Structure 1
Amino acid sequence: MSTNEESYYDRVIGPCLRALPPRDANGLSFTDKWWIKHFEYLKENGYLMRPRYRPGWKPSYDTKDISEEIEAEDGQDMLHPDIMDALRMSDSLVVALKRVKVSTDEARIATFFSNDTNNLNPRNHCVRLLEVLPVPDEDDRKFLVMTWLRPIMSPRFRTIGEGIQFFREMIEGLHYMHENNVAHRDCSMNNMAMDANSMYDRPYHPIKPKKRYDWSGRALHHSRTRRPPRYYLIDFGQSRIYDSSQSRRAEYALKSGGYTPPEGLEGTPCDPFATDVFLLGNLIRTSFLDVLSGFEFLRPLVMDMIAEDPSKRPPMDEVSSRFSQIVDRLSWYKLRSRAIKNSEFILSKPFRATYHIFWTISMLVLLKPAIPCPKPLH
């Protein structure tokens, strides 16, 4: 091994390997074994975990060959120690089982937005709970059961109208939270997700979403325009619910999605609703305006949302109203135009543009609206 290779190993590879939790001969960590211990309990309640998390599991691959592990379905570990995927046995829906502490506001807020009053409200875009289960022998924990969701940016946005639908649902959803005296406080892209099941004819694998759930091949999907997904605000671990009869207390802003609001940098507590406005505006700026062409019409609104002085940021009712007025002025041609990455290879643009024309014609023939509209929840 050369000096440079030794240095790279010492600086990068070594620390990563040492950071991994201890594993047994089958490659199972303590957390893996905790979930395996609860396999029968979850099965009795109608949820079936993948083969890797079933009692007596033995790997189908050589545990000493990392390339074999990566390519094997039962080599796919969980994404987070507190989140497990499973199949709902009654209808084969892929769900997420999230282990949370009862003492936090997360279970309380998630349950509130999933109650009979809020559940079917079309303006409510907080993730819905399918069920809440106690954790055996752990009175301070619960399982929150939800539909399995995937990152917002995968698959990619094809049109301006598709992006508009995402913005609309997140603006509407955060506005609804504020109307109910709840501040998210961490509403970055990391804490937004989409239910993309409508886009797939066959379920995708939760850990390797480019593959089918049964590992039988590539998971093919339709566009957001043809099969609209539904977007959700998730993860209420930092959220706060306030008493409407009292003044809302100021909070210290948190770093969210890699960005700290100005008030957080100054260490000054402020209205958490104003911080939410900043985080949402900053998300639109960094994930869309600065990387995709075609969304510049939103920049004036977004710049107001990310004003350094929290008192100068518009409240969510104003954000919602201004956004609607902006969208109402957009032509159908603008809405159906391509959302183009700024980094797109220049020689590929004519070919992509030509393909997009034919694809757009097909969407018009199918009577698909320029701004996708998911089916109402039942």
Structure 2
Amino acid sequence: MSARATRSGSEVEWSSVYGFMKERGYTLRPRYHPDWEALWDSNELSSFSCEDRIVQRHAFCLDATGLDGTPVYIKKVDRRKHPSEAAIAEFLSSSTMMSDSYNHTVPILDSFAYTKDPDIYYLVMPLLRRFDDPPFTTIKESVDFVYQTLQGLTFMHEHNVAHRDCSAQNIMMDARDLYPNGWHPMSPWLTPDVKGFVHPRKNRCDANIKYFFIDFGLSTRFAPGESHLVVGAKGAAAAPELSREVSYNPFKLDVYLLGKVFQQHICQPYDGVPFLDPLMKDMTAFRPDDRPTAKDALKRWQDICESNQASSMRRWLHKRGESASERLARDIILSAIYGYTKLTSA
């Protein structure tokens, strides 16, 4: 993010709750201290060497550090605009829910209302990375991503929660095993002190990776027996049925949106995972009634994976259009980075 010696309006708002967050056990970065002055202004330093040059990415989200030094992510929720978001997130993150291995919704570590405005609510979550950063390198990695996200969607639907915005930007991963020394929350390609670049220490195949759905601002939780029909056209990704006037089934919308993630981030950019294509195409069928349920999609994926040889799963993924020489060069580079002699070319 570019350097800026003055804070934006949303940054000033976060600065105003610095003390409140401190009382709750969370310390915002120096840039958000009420008395902040740009280090590069006062010390004649280059802004690129100063951590406090990094600005926030989203007005309603900011990173912080807990009492034990753990980095966290705090989301500000205005319950006047999103009356159900916090309640759904907390419901899915309850101790009973979190004990279910199919639960891939982001854990809520802490939550509290702002003392000066009870309609402003803060959700504290672990610091996560985008699911595709770093990119997939082996077939097994993409297979595991599909498996975990279908598990997560099945879990939400079985508990009568429709996400309604489960597009790529709302799927994250716990990447601590890849980056044991961390990364900068707002510039994830940099080290926490912005002095250098981060690199994954291992391949995802040998890391403990878990994927999570985040952002329940558009989500709906249905009561038992309640009609599963909604209206609304908001969301980061388009879908055929989205409408402000004609009702539709949001569970089938979720299946479509996740299918588009598989299409755009696995099937289209990579060779080597053709066995995902039939399921992806069914999930993204134009007519909602032609799409499988999340549970059925998960069962199909389990059957597909069982019918493919386990040895083929650890092959390198290749980008579509790569020449034989490019593939060979990429295989050599990846093997040098991760030290895998077992992996073969797909």
Q: TM-score, normalised by structure 2?
A: 0.90
Distance of 1:131 and 1:309 partners within structure 2: 40
Q: 182, 185, 190: which one pairs with 2:161?
A: 182
Cα 1:70/1:328, change in 2 over 3 Å: same
Deviation at 1:347, TM superposition (A): 3.7
Corresponding residue number in structure 1 for 2:300: 322
Corresponding residue number in structure 1 for 2:15: 36
Larger Rg: 1
Corresponding residue number in structure 1 for 2:77: 100
SS of the equivalent of 2:280 reads: helix
**Which string of whole-angstrom CA distances, capped at 9 and with x for unpartnered residues, describes residues 151-188 of structure 1?**
11111111010111111111000111000011011110
Corresponding residue number in structure 2 for 1:4: none
Distance of 1:58 and 1:356 partners within structure 2: 43
SS of the equivalent of 2:205 reads: coil
Q: Match of 1:199, as an amino acid?
A: L
SS of the equivalent of 2:124 reads: strand
Equivalences for 1:234-245 in 2 at 5 Å?
A: 234-245=214-225
Whether 1:169 and 2:148 are equivalent positions in the alignment is yes
Is the 8 Å Cα contact of residues 232 and 244 (structure 2) preserved in structure 1?
no
Q: 230, 240, 243: which one pairs with 1:262?
A: 240
**Which string of whole-angstrom CA distances, capped at 9 and with x for unpartnered residues, describes residues 304-339 of structure 1?**
111111111111111011010001112123201111
Deviation at 1:125, TM superposition (A): 0.3
Deviation at 1:266, TM superposition (A): 10
Distance of 1:289 and 1:262 partners within structure 2: 20
Is the 8 Å Cα contact of residues 164 and 235 (structure 2) preserved in structure 1?
no
Distance of 2:55 and 2:333 partners within structure 1: 38
- Root mean square deviation, CA, Å: 2.4
Deviation at 1:348, TM superposition (A): 3.0
Equivalences for 1:97-176 in 2 at 5 Å?
A: 97-103=74-80, 104-176=83-155
Is the 8 Å Cα contact of residues 184 and 240 (structure 1) preserved in structure 2?
yes
SS of the equivalent of 1:231 reads: strand
SS of the equivalent of 1:352 reads: helix
Is the 8 Å Cα contact of residues 241 and 248 (structure 2) preserved in structure 1?
yes
Deviation at 1:216, TM superposition (A): 3.5
- Structure 1 unpaired stretches of 5+: 1-22, 366-378
SS of the equivalent of 1:134 reads: strand
SS of the equivalent of 2:118 reads: strand
Distance of 1:30 and 1:37 partners within structure 2: 11
Deviation at 1:41, TM superposition (A): 1.6
Deviation at 1:144, TM superposition (A): 0.2
Distance of 1:45 and 1:249 partners within structure 2: 39
Corresponding residue number in structure 2 for 1:194: 173
Residues 195-204 or 75-84, more deviating: 195-204
Deviation at 1:241, TM superposition (A): 0.4
Corresponding residue number in structure 1 for 2:200: 221
Q: TM-score, normalised by structure 1?
A: 0.83
Distance of 1:98 and 1:334 partners within structure 2: 41
Corresponding residue number in structure 1 for 2:327: 349
Corresponding residue number in structure 1 for 2:272: 294
Q: Match of 2:278, as an amino acid?
A: P
Whether 1:49 and 2:22 are equivalent positions in the alignment is no
Deviation at 1:268, TM superposition (A): 3.6
Cα 1:32/1:266, change in 2 over 3 Å: closer
Distance of 1:311 and 1:50 partners within structure 2: 48
Q: 301, 314, 318: which one pairs with 1:340?
A: 318
Q: Match of 2:145, as an amino acid?
A: F
Q: 54, 69, 94: which one pairs with 1:76?
A: 54
Is the 8 Å Cα contact of residues 240 and 286 (structure 2) preserved in structure 1?
yes
Residues 122-131 or 338-347, more deviating: 338-347
**Which string of whole-angstrom CA distances, capped at 9 and with x for unpartnered residues, describes residues 35-62 of structure 1?**
1121122112211111111121111124
- Structure 2 unpaired stretches of 5+: none
Q: Match of 1:234, as an amino acid?
A: I
